[in-house]
Structure 1
Amino acid sequence: MTIERLQPGKRMSQAVRHNGVVYLAGQVAKDYNGTIEQQTREVLDAIDTLLAEAGTDKSRVLTCQVILNNIADFAAMNTVYDAWIDPANPPARACIEARLAHPALKVEIIAVAALD
């Protein structure tokens, strides 16, 4: 079985395809100054781009792990997430509060999707 790394870097790949599944690295906003809604939108756009590069889309997402630096942002993040997700194919999801790599980051999302 082949393992294909998409956008590999020195430390990590942005996505890895293997055995009919694509595993995405945690995605964060590039604009650290955005609101939770703006950062969530940017993260989901990055996920859409990676899924397309891997040959799949959000209707094939199996699971999402949402990490918020402040759980008080849960409802605001969900307004953007709920508008993005394919309502006919919602993935399994977890949401936790944790400190992110930079204090201005408000959300990080990790996704796994089927390819076939």
Structure 2
Amino acid sequence: MDIRRIAEEERLSGAVISGGFIFLAGQVADDASLDAEGQTADILAQIDTLLEDAGTDKRALLSVQVILADINDAPAMNRAWDTWLDRSAKPARMTIQAPLVNPQWKVEITGIARAP
């Protein structure tokens, strides 16, 4: 089985391509001082870059999971999401509240996309 790893770090890869799919690691904001809307925009830009490095774009996203440290940040997260979203290719999405590893992080996003 062919496996390609993108944006490898010490403990994980930013994305892994295998079996016709792209699996995104949980992405968090580079700047944890941003509010939930800013962190979401930062994360979505990272996802754009990972998908571009994989040879595709956000229209290939099949499923997305959004984790919020505080569910009350959902409206702010959705403002950034709605600005970024391609309305002709909306992925399935779920949003939950859960504690994140770094208390400054407000949002973490992961997903699965179809590989080109």
Q: Same fold judged by TM-score > 0.5?
A: yes
Give the letter for the 2:54 counterpart: A
Residues 1:25 and 2:13 aligned together: no
Distance 1:113 1:83 in 2: 20
Displacement, 1:50?
0.3
Please give the TM-score of this superposition, normalised by the length of structure 1.
0.96
Displacement, 1:10?
2.8
Distance 1:81 1:10 in 2: 29
Distance 1:8 1:36 in 2: 26
Q: Secondary structure at the match of 2:31?
A: coil
Displacement, 1:7?
2.0
5+ long unaligned stretches in structure 1: none
- What are the residue-to-residue correspondences of 1:69-80 with 2, within 5 Å? 69-80=69-80
Please give the TM-score of this superposition, normalised by the length of structure 2.
0.96
Distance 1:10 1:30 in 2: 16
Computed over aligned residues only, the root mean square deviation of the Cα atoms, in angstroms, reads 0.9
Q: Which runs of 4+ in 1 moved over 3 A?
A: none
Give the letter for the 1:115 counterpart: A
Corresponding residue number in structure 1 for 2:65: 65
Q: Secondary structure at the match of 1:99?
A: coil
Instruction: Give the % identical residues.
Output: 47
Q: Secondary structure at the match of 2:11?
A: coil
* Alignment length (residue pairs): 116
- What are the residue-to-residue correspondences of 1:12-51 with 2, within 5 Å? 12-51=12-51
Distance 1:30 1:9 in 2: 14
Distance 1:26 1:42 in 2: 13
Distance 1:8 1:76 in 2: 30
Distance 1:9 1:105 in 2: 19
Residues 1:112 and 2:101 aligned together: no
Displacement, 1:111?
1.5
Distance 1:11 1:34 in 2: 25
Corresponding residue number in structure 2 for 1:86: 86
Distance 2:85 2:40 in 1: 12
